[in-house]
Structure 1
C-alpha cells in the first residue's frame, strides 16, 4: 500500500513554472478563492496575473504567458505580512509579503493587487493560511498530545468515530502498554489506559502500510508511517486473532476510502464561490521553443531571500568580469543570473 503523502507535494513544496498537470487540483484539494489582476512584484514586476488560493497552496500564473507561474505550499510559509512595495503597475502600494523556507532555502514572494481598494488579497491568503496552521492534527503524526478527555477522543470538526477497540497493546516497550484504539474517518488514535497523555495520533495521510506481522508478542498489527512523518514503525497486539484481523480489515478499508478523497481539515469558505479551476485555466498554445525536461531553470533565483543568510560566501576571482565576486551557489552561472535580471 502506498501512502497518500508519498505523492503529496502541494502543501510541502515551493515550485516554479509548473506544468498544467501540476496546476490541477489533487483529490481533496479545494479552490477557495480566485483573485484577478495580481502582480508577482518580486519575480515578474509589471506582469498582470491570477492568484489561486486553495486549501493546500497558493498558485500565481501570468496572464500573458501562462507557463510562467509558481506554486507555494502553506507548510513552507514562515511568515505573512503586509508592507509597502514598488509595483510597475501601481507604483508605491501596500503588498502581501510571504517568506518561505523549502529544502533549507528561503524564498520571498511579494504580491500586489493591481485593482485598488480591494483587501481580498490580504484577507483570503492570511485567513486560509491560519486555517491550515490550526488544522495540523488532520495531517501530522502526533505523539503525547492532548487527544483524550474523560477517556473519550476529542473529535476534530470533520471527524467521525467508526470503531473503538479495547484491549490493544502498544508494543513500543519490552512489557507493552495496554490501551484503547479509536478508529475514525481521518486517523487512528491509541492511548494507554493508565495514562491518557501516553498516546499517538496517526492520520491516514501519513500511513505507508498496514500489515499483520509476527513479533515476539505473537501476531501483531504493524503500521509504517511515511518518511516525512519520521518513518515510524508502530506495533499493536489485539487478542484474539479474529479481532485483530477485523481491525486490520477495517483500517485498510477506511484508509482506501480516505486516499480516494482526503480530508485535509482546512475549513474556510468565501461568501462568493470562485469559478471551477477548469473554467479559469488558459489553454497553452505550443510555441516554437522546445523545452528540455531536464534543463536547469534559474526562475527561482529572483525569489531568494538573501537578507536571511547568516554570512557572506568567500570571494573568488571572476575571469569573466575581471574582478573578485562572492562565490556563486552550486549549479549557478553568471550568464544564468544575467538572464534572470533581464
Structure 2
C-alpha cells in the first residue's frame, strides 16, 4: 500500500516503521490532487519527469517519477549533478534549453540554412528568433534570450506539413507544423516565417529532411538489403572501397556461412557467396567495439553494434590469424578516421542562396568632377534674365568702344559680353 507523506520528517518516520528502506511514495493520482491552483507545471530534468509541489516546508518539494514503477520519489542533488547524455544523430532527440556547448555543431554536422526572422508559435508566440537548419537537426533560439532554445533531430520527426496558425507578430498566416516523437512522447512544433512571401522556411526544412530520410544507409544497421549487384558492392555517394577480403566465415550459425568482406570508408559489408541477399551492412556510426575473441571456431573478429541499432554481436572468421589481425587494425583505423569526420550522407545544393548584407550594400562612388575656381560669370544670362531691373542704368563713356554705353553690372566686362555673343 502506498503512503502519502506531507513532509520529510513524516517521511523519515514512516520509513523507520516500514520493513523496506525505500522512500515512501505518493501515487500519481494523490499527487495530482495535492497540486494547488497556480502551481508550476511538470518539468523535464535530465530526461526524468518531475513536478513541483507548493506549500513551502510542508511539501515534498521537487519529485521525480521512477520509470520502472511509475512512482514519485524525492529529487536529490545527485540526480541533478548527472551530466546530460551525449548527443547522437541516430537517436530521437527533442531537447529544450540547451547550453552553448550542446548547441554547437558536432563533427560532420554542417549548417545549411539560417533564417533570422522565425517565430516559435507553439511555445514562444510573439518572440522573434533564429532557425538553424543543419544536415542532422533543426535548432531554434530566441534572439532576445538565446538560452530559450530547442533542438529537433530529424530522426524523431514523424511528419512535416504547412497549416494556418495564429501568430502574435503576423496574425493568421501559413506556418510550418513539425510532429515529432521522442521515446513515447509526442511533440508538436509550429514555426512561422516573419518575412512575408518568403518560402525559405518550408523549402529548406522539407528538402533537408527528405534528404536525411533517403540516406539512412549511411547511418542505419541493415540486414538482408539490396547491397550486392553482380557480386559487387553497390557503392554509396562519397563511399570508397579500401579492402575486399574473400573467404570470410559468418559465425551466426553452427556451421557458418562462407562469404566476402568489404571494408569502406563508411561501413563494413559482408554477404554470403551462395546467396547475395544474405548480407549485413554495419556503418561505423553504429559500431560500439571491434575486438578479437576466442570462439569454438578459433580466433574471430567480433563486432558489437550500438544499442540504438539493436545491440547485435557479429562474429567473422578470417584465416590466417595474421590476416585477421591486419583486418582488425585496418577497421579500427578507419573507424577512428570516420569518428573524427563522419559522413552522414545528407547531400544538399543551394539553388538560390541569399546574398549577405555586405554583398547587397552599394558603395558610394565619388564622382570625378573638377571644380573651376575661376570667377566666371554668365553675362548673357545676367542681362537677359535680370528680372529685378526697374530702369535703365546711367550712360558712361567706354574708351574701348569710343562711345557712351549703359553702365555694366559689377563683375562683368565688355570682353565677356563679346564672348557670349560670339
Is 2:90–2:308's contact at 8 Å kept on the other side of the alignment?
Answer: no
Q: Deviations over 1:161-206 (max 9, x none)?
A: 1111000000000000000001000000000000000000000000
Structure with more relative contact order (C-alpha pairs < 8 Å, separation 6 or more): 1
Cα deviation, residue 7, structure 1? 5.0
Which residue does the alignment assign to 2:334? 254
Q: Superposed, which structure 2 residues align to 1:192-207 within 5 Å? A: 192-207=272-287
1:134 aligns with 2:224: no
Larger Rg: 2
Q: Paired residues, what number? A: 272
Alpha-carbon spacing, 1:273–1:117, altered in 2? closer, same or farther (3 Å): closer
Cα deviation, residue 12, structure 1? 2.7
Is 2:118–2:191's contact at 8 Å kept on the other side of the alignment?
Answer: yes
Which residue does the alignment assign to 1:160? 240
Is 1:222–1:235's contact at 8 Å kept on the other side of the alignment?
Answer: yes
SS in 1 for 2:169: coil
Taking the aligned partners of 2:243 and 2:127, their CA distance within structure 1 comes to 53
2:204 to 124, 129, 140: 124
List gaps (5 residues or longer) in structure 2.
1-84, 356-422
Scaled by the length of structure 2, what TM-score is found?
Answer: 0.63
Is 2:284–2:338's contact at 8 Å kept on the other side of the alignment?
Answer: yes
Is 2:180–2:187's contact at 8 Å kept on the other side of the alignment?
Answer: yes
List gaps (5 residues or longer) in structure 1.
276-342
SS in 1 for 2:178: strand
1:19 to 99, 114, 120: 99
Cα deviation, residue 273, structure 1? 6.1
SS in 2 for 1:175: coil
When the two chains are superposed, the root-mean-square deviation of aligned CA atoms in Å is 1.7
1:191 aligns with 2:271: yes
Is 2:161–2:176's contact at 8 Å kept on the other side of the alignment?
Answer: yes
Scaled by the length of structure 1, what TM-score is found?
Answer: 0.77
Is 1:27–1:262's contact at 8 Å kept on the other side of the alignment?
Answer: yes
Which residue does the alignment assign to 1:289? none
Is 2:193–2:201's contact at 8 Å kept on the other side of the alignment?
Answer: yes
1:241 aligns with 2:289: no
1:172 aligns with 2:260: no
Q: Deviations over 1:36-68 (max 9, x none)?
A: 100000000111000000000000000011100
SS in 2 for 1:28: coil
Alpha-carbon spacing, 1:212–1:8, altered in 2? closer, same or farther (3 Å): same
